[in-house]
Structure 1
Amino acid sequence: MNPDYQKFNVEDFTRDDHFRQWVIHRDPQSEAFWLRWMDAHPDLAGKVQLARSFLYALEEKNADLSEDELTQLTTTILQQEKHQVRSLWPTRVFAVAAAVAVILGLGYLFLVYQPATDRQARLAEISPVLATDYNELTNSGKAPQALTLQDGSVITLHPGSTIRYPRQFTSSMREVYLSGKAFFNITKNPKRPFWVHADRISTQVLGTSFLVNATGKNASVEVRSGRVSVYTRKDIRQARQLQKNESAGVVLTANQQVAFIEEGNRLVKSVVPQPIILQAIETNAYVFDEAPIAQVFKQLETTYGLTVMYDPLTVNNCFITANLSGESLFEKLNLICRISRSTYEIVDGQIIIHSLGCDNK
């Protein structure tokens, strides 16, 4: 029978065999149990993740320590947290304790003094390195601020926003954590996917440019170029419980966006408010003279990278004579629909055309 974990403090978690089985030995059954437990007790997830980060730090600093030495080290560090006056005894275990106590102390400060208490828990759950070994930049000015990462990727941080990134990317993954709003221009590296984590969503990308807005409750991602996948934290947690790759996200391409809707914990895919032209077009590309409407739709797809869906039979006799140059995508669509007795809607990031046909014009 499991103990009453709701009464545990950080020290209790670090000593618990079941907890250590999850963190130190990577036991899948233990991991499934603790992820379910944190879902059921979100108010205590911060303590769990702080203890988890602490044990990760111990393991990274001292992979060769025995279980007994780890227990002794845990006791030493946690006692140091309780007492302002410390006796400094020069042993191998204390040398390790001194290094890790800094990490633990920062963890406590982050947990106690941050308005969003569960942020540290999210960070440790998402990526231990983002909770323990990181740099952090806050744009306190009034203009966007550019940051170039070690891989050459450039982050343009909007005023009032904060980016946290590891001191050193791992060999298999690049991860950052955003609070606020930033534009990302990512250096392509298929062997090291780039992840942008926020409180409610995570975005995976191999090489592209996109905007993440993690301000407020309903976060969003807008893609300028390339391709990204966006996940809710729940999606990622479930995938890890089932030991699956995170492959069930919402896929976005250029000029598409997704918004996280807190009510229902869901992602809604659509088109960005101001779609941009993705490639150079000829001067008269949007000057049409009795052009079949299918040709016009194809030109829109080429220009903006968005799928236009319609019934070819219904619009078979629809032809367009118009100069749409200089108009935005949505202005073009409004004009096309007026000419062809059609309407459009945006569904799942695609343009859906509903037409009555042009036979009876």
Structure 2
Amino acid sequence: MDQYQEYTLEDFVLDARFQGWVRHQEATDAVFWKQYIDENPLQADDIRSAHKLLDGVYRHYRTEIDEVEIDLEIQGLLERVRTEKLLGLRTEEKEYGRREERIVSEPLKLNESRVVSESGRSVWFGSAFWTRVAACLVLAIGLGWIGWRYYRFNDGYNGLVSGKGLVERVNTSGKQQVIKLADGTQVVLYPQSRLSFAETFQPDQRIVYLSGDAYFQVAKDPKRPFLVHTTDLVTKVLGTSFFVRAQDASDKTLVEVREGKVSVFKQKEFAARKNAQAKTPNGMVLTPNQKLIFEHASSEMRRTLSDNPEIVPSDNPKTFEFVNTPASSVLTDIEEAYQIDIIFDRDVMKGCPVTASLGGQPMFSKLSILCEVIEARYEVLDGKIVIYSRGCKS
């Protein structure tokens, strides 16, 4: 925490971790900053002010706006910046004249600092000046956020589909729309989403372009992989069910698998191939109940589990009714039902009898109940579950 002790209001506004706390409101960040304020009460006012300024920007630009509104918003912000700077200069000129007269007789006031210019003149910076600086910083952040959204909207999806002569489906309604493609693939297109595709797919691959949210049930065709292009990612499958969330105005892209396997690549690396037959770059493989989160700011792909994993349809469904059943067998049943890798010590678990009725419980509830019975704990790591246990209750 020492790095923040010299921070002022504008430093907090520009700090990436501070911005993440205001924007995403993660519980861990809230605990960190509460502890920091408690330990550094002299900075509390600056932290609260910076929080309010950033929160106003993020709340204002969280809603969807179209290109015309973006242009108008940019022009409006620019005008406010120009006006603020002009007023600031005029105010500084007047203040400078008045302060020159009383510079000898008046002591240095709190919240003001003085520097000497090369010409020898003393220039004063008061709290009003720093308020204007903070306002300009926040407006600059807002402009950057709008510019980023504008770039993603025009050079993202639009850049991918430009000049390709594709059919486009746009869902402007408030309900999901079902689109059936020429190969038999079914796409559920969510509201405010767009999908572009060729009327007839190529003989060696099937390509679609997505902006927004969609659920795909891809028809199996081993000879023709199915590719979903978004601004940042390419998802490649042969035949499976998966969900893609790729809003151009969002700071994340998500791919979540329901059945089968998919491979996900960064768009830039995939596009860098010299031709369609070139070697595919290393991607990340997802299996059922796994999801990938791509952070636009860091360009990092992170694999984890779905928020609510679902049982994968099977010819031999599990009942999850256990009577003196070894914990290792219970974990194996959960692993097979959800098709999620569970890492545990079988020698330790096989000696732990479990009697429980877990049918109807969500997967994470099943794991919590089991871990309580056998005095263990679990953790999700890279889309897998790791069970930690020293043994069973005596």
What TM-score bracket applies, with the shorter chain setting the length? 0.5 to 0.7
1:118-140 superposed Cα distances (whole Å, 9 cap, x missing partner): 2368516xxxxx63210111101
In structure 1, give the amino acid aligned to 2:209: Y
Deviation at 1:276, TM superposition (A): 1.2
In structure 2, give the amino acid aligned to 1:203: T
Deviation at 1:289, TM superposition (A): 1.1
Structure 1 residue runs without a partner (length 5+): 1-112, 125-129
In structure 2, give the amino acid aligned to 1:118: D
1:1-37 superposed Cα distances (whole Å, 9 cap, x missing partner): xxxxxxxxxxxxxxxxxxxxxxxxxxxxxxxxxxxxx
Q: Is 1:179 aligned to residue 211 of structure 2?
A: yes
Contact 1:287/1:323 (CA < 8 Å) preserved in 2? yes
TM-score w.r.t. length of structure 1: 0.63
Aligned partner of 2:338 among 291, 304, 321:
304
- 1:251-270 → structure 2 map (5 Å cutoff): 251-270=285-304
Deviation at 1:283, TM superposition (A): 8.3
Q: Is 1:351 aligned to residue 388 of structure 2?
A: no
Secondary structure of 1:334 counterpart: helix
Contact 1:165/1:176 (CA < 8 Å) preserved in 2? yes
Q: Is 1:288 aligned to residue 325 of structure 2?
A: no
Deviates more, 1:145-154 or 1:228-237: 228-237
Structure 2 residue runs without a partner (length 5+): 1-149
Deviation at 1:116, TM superposition (A): 2.6
Secondary structure of 1:151 counterpart: coil
Partner of 1:333: 367
In structure 1, give the amino acid aligned to 2:226: F
TM-score w.r.t. length of structure 2: 0.58
Partner Cα distance (1:120, 1:279) in 2: 34
Partner Cα distance (2:228, 2:353) in 1: 45
In structure 1, give the amino acid aligned to 2:173: G
Distance 1:283 1:350, change over 3 A: closer
Identical positions, percent: 33
Q: Is 1:213 aligned to residue 245 of structure 2?
A: yes
Aligned partner of 2:263 among 225, 229, 237:
229
1:232-258 superposed Cα distances (whole Å, 9 cap, x missing partner): 1133145559x8422511111111111
Partner Cα distance (1:224, 1:244) in 2: 29
Partner of 2:227: 195
Q: Is 1:116 aligned to residue 148 of structure 2?
A: no
Contact 1:281/1:303 (CA < 8 Å) preserved in 2? no
Contact 1:343/1:353 (CA < 8 Å) preserved in 2? yes
Between Structure 1 and Structure 2, whose CA radius of gyration is higher? 2
In structure 1, give the amino acid aligned to 2:214: A
Contact 2:318/2:337 (CA < 8 Å) preserved in 1? no
Distance 1:139 1:327, change over 3 A: same
Contact 2:173/2:191 (CA < 8 Å) preserved in 1? yes
Partner Cα distance (1:275, 1:335) in 2: 16
Partner of 2:177: 145
Partner Cα distance (1:289, 1:329) in 2: 19
1:205-249 superposed Cα distances (whole Å, 9 cap, x missing partner): 1001111000212011111111110111133145559x8422511
Partner Cα distance (1:198, 1:204) in 2: 12
1:310-355 superposed Cα distances (whole Å, 9 cap, x missing partner): 1223334222111111101010000011111111111121111111
In structure 2, give the amino acid aligned to 1:157: L
Contact 1:235/1:249 (CA < 8 Å) preserved in 2? no
In structure 2, give the amino acid aligned to 1:176: V
Secondary structure of 1:180 counterpart: strand
Distance 1:142 1:120, change over 3 A: closer
Deviation at 1:290, TM superposition (A): 1.2
Secondary structure of 2:348 counterpart: coil
Aligned partner of 1:156 among 188, 194, 215:
188
Secondary structure of 1:291 counterpart: strand
Partner of 1:76: none
Deviates more, 1:228-237 or 1:133-142: 228-237
RMSD over aligned CA atoms reads: 2.4
Secondary structure of 2:154 counterpart: coil
In structure 2, give the amino acid aligned to 1:344: Y
